[in-house]
């Protein structure tokens, strides 16, 4: 039987260009792509786009 570990991710995990700048779509994509390169798969996500920026919360899984 396959076994997985899980990771909860959200907007606070995404780096931005500056302290007061919002996270942009490209920032979120870069973050999620870096996790994908480590073997993580996004299995559930809730995206909210606010004034050109993105907020999200999600669950990722990775086979152990």
State how many domains the chain has.
1
pLDDT score for 47: 81
- Measured torsion, CA atoms of residues 43, 49, 55, 57, in degrees rounded to the nearest 10: -20
Residue pLDDT, tens place only, 15-60: 776 555 567 778 888 888 999 999 999 999 998 777 766 688 999 9
Q: 63: part of which helix (H) or strand (E)?
A: strand 53-63
Q: How far is residue 49's CA from residue 47's CA, in Å, rounded to a whole number?
A: 7
Q: Range of 41's domain? A: 4-63
Which has the higher per-residue pLDDT, 25 or 9?
Answer: 9
- Given pLDDT bands bounded at 50, 70 and 90, which one contains residue 9? very high
Supply the pTM of this predicted model.
0.76
């Amino acid at each position: 039987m396959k076994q997985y570990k899980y990771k909860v991710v959200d907007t606070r995990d995404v780096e931005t260009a500056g302290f007061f700048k919002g996270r942009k779509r490209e920032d979120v994509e870069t973050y999620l792509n870096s996790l994908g390169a480590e073997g993580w798969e996004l299995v559930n996500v809730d995206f909210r786009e606010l004034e050109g920026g993105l907020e999200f919360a999600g669950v990722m899984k990775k086979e152990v």
